[in-house]
Amino acid sequence: MAQGALFLDRDGVVNRERGAHTWRVEDFEVLPQVADTVKAAHAAGLLTIIITNQSGIALGLYSHADVANVHAYLHRHLAQQGAVLDAVYYCPHHPDHGRCLCRKPGSLLFERAIARSDIDPARSVMVGDRQRDIDAAAGAGVRGILVQANAPLLETLKNEAIF
């Protein structure tokens, strides 16, 4: 039977939104409640998956290797607190440099995650700090929760009765 998932936007939900592209570990500040949120999601039987736009790659600001380095840091940081992300999906494209289906508000990254991990969209939720996050989730049949950037994640999900 397919399981549910907690999908999370990255910048502004998992790490502090700085108002600029974040691709260096020294600029990547994991928000305080993220590890506890990931653990609570797993305890509730949900996978935890990040879905993020990383258009700085297309803009030439940073590389796929830079993104991989930041995500490796995130995995290590969470593991030190006993939390494990199930997957990270990102779009490297920018709308000024061609079209793609994976950039939010497109839903392709959600569809990939749903197919690869046998996820039930009806039992899933996306937390994002921009309307495009919510629109992308809706395109894949996933409920979206719009939050303020850098908001306390665990409290928000408890208030929404996610777990």
> pTM (2 decimals)?
0.95
Question: Considering only CA atoms, which of 127, 122, 119, 160 is closest in space to residue 146?
Answer: 127
The structure tokens listed for 28 are: 């990547």
Which residue has 């996306």 as its token pair? 126
pLDDT in tens, the chain (163 residues): 789 999 999 999 999 999 889 999 999 999 999 999 999 999 999 999 999 999 999 999 999 999 999 999 999 999 999 999 999 999 999 888 777 889 999 999 999 999 999 999 999 999 999 999 999 999 999 999 999 999 999 888 888 888 7
The CATH topology of domain 5-159 is: Rossmann fold (3.40.50)
Whole-angstrom distance, CA of residue 43 vs CA of residue 40: 5
**Domain edges within the chain:** 5-159
Mapped onto helix, strand or coil, the DSSP state of residue 14 is: coil
Active site residues: 9, 11
